[in-house]
Amino acid sequence: MFRILKGASGERVFRTATISALVLLALFFIGIIVSLLAYTEWDTFVSALFSSEILFAIRLSLMTATIAAVISMLIAVPVAYAISRASFPGKDIVDSLLDLPIVVSPVALGAALLVFFNTPLGSAIDDNILKFVFSVPGIVLAQVTVISALAIRLLKSTFDSIDPRYEQVARTLGCSKPEAFFRVTLPLARDGLIASGILTWARAVGEFGATVMLAGATAMKTETLPTAIFLSLASADVEKAIAVIFVLILIAVAALLIIRKTVGRRYRV
C-alpha cells in the first residue's frame, strides 16, 4: 500500500481521498441543516421561536449554563494545574477518574446523581440545604458534573504547554509560588482559559441527559433548550423543536466564532 502512495500519483490519490472525506462530511451536515429549513415555514418558525415557552427555555439555559461554566472553571483551574504540575501516588488513577464524565453517558451520570440524592446524605442535602431533584439547582449541578471534566482536560493541555521554567525564574526573582502562578502562569494561559470557558459554556447549554434525569422535564420550570426539543417532539410539535434546534446551532456557531476571533490560531477548534 505504501508503495502505491509513493510519487506524484500517490500524492494525488492521498489528497483526493482526504479532500473527498472532508467534502462528504461537510455535505452531510449541510444536508441536515437544509432538511430542517425545508421542513418548516418561516411564519410558523418565527411564531414558535418567540413563544413564551421557548423564550423561557432560552433564558433558563443561558442562566444555568453561565453559572455552571463559572463553577466548572473555578474548579478546573486548580485541579488542572495540580494534575499538570504535581506528582503524587495514584496520579494516573485520579487523572482517569476525572475523565469519566467525558466517556460515561450523561444519562448514566444523571441517574447516579439521582441515586445519590436518595441516600440519607443526599436526602439531607436536598431537604435541608438546597433542593436539587426536579429543580433549577439540579440543572446547574448536572451541567457542572458533565462539563467540569471537559474544562479540566482543556486546561491541563494549556498548563502542559507552558514551560515550568517561567515559574522557576519568577521564584528566583522573589515571587512566592502563588505569586508566580497568578502573575506568570495564568497570564500565559489566557487563551486557553478563554477557549475552555467558552467551550464549557456552550457544552452546558446543550446538555440534556444528566439534566433530564436529575431535574426532570417540566415545562416552564426545568425546561432548558434541549429539554424543550424533547417536550416538543413528545407532543408532535415539530416546528417548535426545529426552532429550538436552530437556536442551539446559532449558539454553538457563535461560541466557535468568538473563540477564533479572540484567542487566535493557536487555540482554534
pLDDT in tens, 182-193: 888 899 898 889
Q: Is the Cβ–Cβ distance between 244 and 28 less than 8 Å?
A: no
Residue 6 C-alpha cell reads as 509513493
Q: Is the Cβ–Cβ distance between 71 and 137 less than 8 Å?
A: no
54 plus 66 within the same structural domain: yes
**Nearest alpha-carbon partner for 135 in 119, 114, 116:** 114
Q: Is the Cβ–Cβ distance between 228 and 57 less than 8 Å?
A: yes
Distance CA 255, CA 269 (A): 10
Least confident of 194-203, 245-254, 258-267: 258-267
140 plus 163 within the same structural domain: yes
Band of pLDDT at residue 3, cut at 50, 70 and 90: low
48 plus 35 within the same structural domain: no
23 plus 46 within the same structural domain: no
20 plus 77 within the same structural domain: no
Q: Which helix (H) or strand (E) holds 110?
A: helix 106-116
**Nearest alpha-carbon partner for 57 in 208, 243, 224:** 224
The DSSP call for residue 129 is: T
Q: Is 69 helix (H, G, I), strand (E, B) or coil?
A: helix
Distance CA 214, CA 139 (A): 7
161 plus 186 within the same structural domain: yes
The whole-model pTM stands at 0.87
Q: Dihedral (C-alpha) 155, 195, 144, 99: value to the nearest 10 degrees?
A: -40
4 plus 109 within the same structural domain: no
Q: pLDDT of 75-124, one tens digit each?
A: 999 999 999 888 888 888 888 888 888 889 999 999 999 999 999 999 99
Number of domains in the chain: 2
34 plus 59 within the same structural domain: no
CATH code of 190's domain? 1.10.3720.10
